[in-house]
Structure 1
Amino acid sequence: MKVTVKDYLNVRVGKPSVNAPTYQYLAPGSELEVEEQLHQGDKFEGVTTWLKDAAGNYYWSGATSRSETTGNQWWIGDYGIDLVWPHSKGEGVTVILLDSGIREDSPDLFGKTMTKRSVIGDDGTDTFGHGTLMSSIILGSGRSIHGVAPGVELISIKITNDGGIRGQDFLEGLNETEKILDADNNKQFVINCSLVSFGLGQQFELDAVASIKRILSHENVVLCAAAGNNSFRNPHFEIIPATVAGVIAADGLIKVNGNYERLLSSNYWPAVNVTAPGEYPIEALKDLFPHVDPQGTSHACAYTTGLVALFASMATAKGKKYNHLDAASLLARITFRDTGFPPSTQLIREKIINTSSDS
């Protein structure tokens, strides 16, 4: 693949290190032919990923057009998301976020196309941080964090002030979602429910499941939900919305010393659709929300929402609608659910780009 040099860049011989021998530097605007795979190496200005050419030379990715793939955003490179961006960044897709609201002045949301709503009697501004974090994972502009699908539009429906789920507020959020969907059957929607609920009573579960099923009956909607962080295996009760048939459920993994591990706190059961990245670098938000949790299945859900938005965007560009059956089919082919290992960049290219383009 070809990348463009953005800043003066040393050619490092033999290993991805700032201390490796160098015999020349490349000027901005130069083009490089390199492998698609990213290599871990010395950390420089916060970036630990390096590119390699056929001759065994290494190039620090932070000075190239692939610099979006920073060391603390390993999923962008490991899952090949930056290979999808030339084909789609989520344009034409609207994400509906049921969460704690958003802060438009957060660095990676500033200037984005977003609408705030609330079912709890305020203006929809996030005072807790969870909703702003999820939004940044999905569509962050890259001022400090790159979202998976930075081209989507966002409708935020605030259903909580503190991250806790109250049955009636959640139901009202679902009802508000139904109104949005019923008002526009021509748009493509992906819904993000990173907050989960359980044990709120049989009537709540019945009402919530009925609403979710109505939402999923739309042929232009995918609903993604977090599996939750209770370390449950094969739960015998409803975790809403993740256990509802048709919902794309996500549990989380992290990367430790180059190895992928499922989050110990992740709920997991055989019907979970995807094991997705469950961590997030919070440097961009630590001043606004110092208590934001850097790990959890909430993050995995937001990542999955962004990924699905990329699929849906490519489908809508061909005049097609995209639903939960389409998403589940493709996710099953590009993720290793039981191990959490990301697919190779070749598999990403074959399955995401080619399959989505042909679907």
Structure 2
Amino acid sequence: MKFRTIRATSTAVVLTGLLCTVATAPAQAATPVGWEGAALGLSAAQQQSQGEGVTVAVLDSGVYADHPALKGKVITGPDYFKDGLEAGDSQWGQHGTAMASDVLKVAPKAKILSVRVIDDKHEEERTEEDLKESFRKGNNPIADGINYAVQQGADVISMSLGGEDIFGGYSEDEAAALAYAARNGVTVLASAGNSAEVFNDVSYPAGYAGVIAVAATQQNGERASFSTVHSYNDVAAPGVDIVSATNTGGYEPVDGTSPACALAAGVVALMYGKNPKLSPAQVNDILIDTTHRPAGGASAVLGYGLIDADAAVKAAASPPKDTTSSVAYKGKEHLATPDGTSKTTHPEMEQGLWMTGLAAAGVGLVFLLGGVLLARSGRSKRTVPAGAPGMGQPQGYFPG
């Protein structure tokens, strides 16, 4: 049985270093807006809506609620990660605080519901005891967090996190929780993943049906080099040098599909502020219909293109009819994207990207075969922790 662990790593979401760690700002200060403001059309969008009355659940590593940019705007929910850390610890709320500030950068009058479902540890810092502890807990923080957010009346769920596993990271618990969110009209977004420079792995929860997967762009509008290329990509948002709040009261620039997801969640909050009766299907259709569509059309690179916040908020006032409904599963039929593209079939990709993927697959096969041989040779020496999980248990997660 392959070991699986809940994990967080800031290497996947590159903290590009302090361009400047800004001193603590006065109360109710806003997180600085950089190039992402113009790229998304925030100024015009915020003239129509600022997200008032909308609650965005940020499922992450915790949010430092006393940060000047967040003070009075954060409701702190339960800690489903249960590792004993608390607010104020240096390993608590690094990533989550940044993501909450990016949501509010777009929708300044929205409320944040913070639910802790991951930690901030780097992959290389995780110990064997951490691995055993994840087995002992036996819970699924992501599924628990989704269910809690829905029960608390969240309008939007933002998950700047992802899981990777060479055999796939699908979880029945998470799929059921996402279905619960859909039935209750909650729009869910997740970061597409930052593995394009490694193995371009499938990332969950972005890969689940019904989740809006957000890829990342750089300043010139092209895909950020780390942004995962995959058929589940729906839309894109800025993800390079996004100045975000820290858990120490300042600000620093962040790279990753994490801030891209948080910014997109802020746009959805603006849409709900304009029209609180929107369904998740309507939100999805509007975001897709109003993007800055790539010249070559939709693809696995940036989905349907960069979000246009101004156009999306305008369209929210008169949304397309929601024709979705619950249907019985009949076997071979499956969910598809709005244009009919199968969620399990990649659109045509650029030759360079295709060759990169083929090479990665070959390398992966070599590692897999090597791992099987090592596992067989060491089987008699290996001790599986008590209560090691089987199907449906939590897979590896890291900030997106």
Answering whether residue 115 of structure 2 is matched by residue 115 of structure 1, we say no
Calculate the TM-score normalised by the size of structure 1: 0.64
Answering whether residue 214 of structure 2 is matched by residue 245 of structure 1, we say no
Answering whether residue 92 of structure 2 is matched by residue 127 of structure 1, we say yes
1:174 aligned partner = 143
2:174 aligned partner = 208
**Residue 63 of structure 2 contacts residue 247 of structure 2 at CA under 8 Å; is this kept in 1?**
no
How far 1:83 sits from its partner (Å)?
A: 1.1
2:102 aligned partner = 137
How far 1:188 sits from its partner (Å)?
A: 5.2
Answering whether residue 318 of structure 2 is matched by residue 355 of structure 1, we say no
How far 1:283 sits from its partner (Å)?
A: 7.1
Question: Matched residues, percent identical?
Answer: 27
Q: Distance in 2 between matches of 1:233 and 1:328?
A: 29
Q: Could you say what secondary structure the match of 1:261 adopts?
A: coil
How far 1:195 sits from its partner (Å)?
A: 0.8
- RMSD of aligned residue pairs (Cα, Å): 3.3
* Structure 2: gaps (5+ residues): 1-29, 124-133, 296-301, 320-400
Answering whether residue 285 of structure 2 is matched by residue 332 of structure 1, we say no
Q: Could you say what secondary structure the match of 1:104 adopts?
A: coil
2:260 aligned partner = 300
Once the two structures are superposed, residues 158-192 of structure 1 have per-residue CA deviations (whole angstroms, 9 ceiling, x without a partner) of 122225796968823422431442x45xx451001
**Residue 68 of structure 2 contacts residue 249 of structure 2 at CA under 8 Å; is this kept in 1?**
no
**How many residue pairs get matched?**
267
1:224 aligned partner = 189
* Structure 1: gaps (5+ residues): 1-67, 140-146
Distance of aligned partners of 1:309 and 1:353 in 2 relative to their CA distance in 1, 3 Å threshold: closer
Answering whether residue 58 of structure 2 is matched by residue 97 of structure 1, we say yes
Q: Distance in 2 between matches of 1:169 and 1:293?
A: 35
Distance of aligned partners of 1:283 and 1:330 in 2 relative to their CA distance in 1, 3 Å threshold: closer
Q: Distance in 1 between matches of 2:121 and 2:250?
A: 13
Q: Distance in 2 between matches of 1:153 and 1:193?
A: 16
Q: Which structure features the higher share of helix residues?
A: 2
Distance of aligned partners of 1:118 and 1:234 in 2 relative to their CA distance in 1, 3 Å threshold: same
Once the two structures are superposed, residues 39-96 of structure 1 have per-residue CA deviations (whole angstroms, 9 ceiling, x without a partner) of xxxxxxxxxxxxxxxxxxxxxxxxxxxxx997x6112123221112122111121111
Answering whether residue 110 of structure 2 is matched by residue 152 of structure 1, we say yes
How far 1:196 sits from its partner (Å)?
A: 0.4
Q: Distance in 2 between matches of 1:82 and 1:267?
A: 29
Instruction: Report the AA paired with residue 69 of structure 2.
Output: D
Once the two structures are superposed, residues 199-219 of structure 1 have per-residue CA deviations (whole angstroms, 9 ceiling, x without a partner) of 18778623322322222222x
Once the two structures are superposed, residues 274-294 of structure 1 have per-residue CA deviations (whole angstroms, 9 ceiling, x without a partner) of 11110344475396589x771
How far 1:327 sits from its partner (Å)?
A: 1.7
Once the two structures are superposed, residues 118-149 of structure 1 have per-residue CA deviations (whole angstroms, 9 ceiling, x without a partner) of 1133576272510000000001xxxxxxx101
Which structure is richer in relative contact order (CA contacts within 8 A, separation 6 or more)? 2
1:88 aligned partner = 49
Q: Which structure features the higher share of strand residues?
A: 1
Q: Distance in 1 between matches of 2:138 and 2:99?
A: 19
Instruction: Report the AA paired with residue 328 of structure 1.
Output: N
Aligned pair partner of 1:193 in 159, 177, 195 = 159
Instruction: Report the AA paired with residue 109 of structure 2.
Output: G
2:38 aligned partner = 77
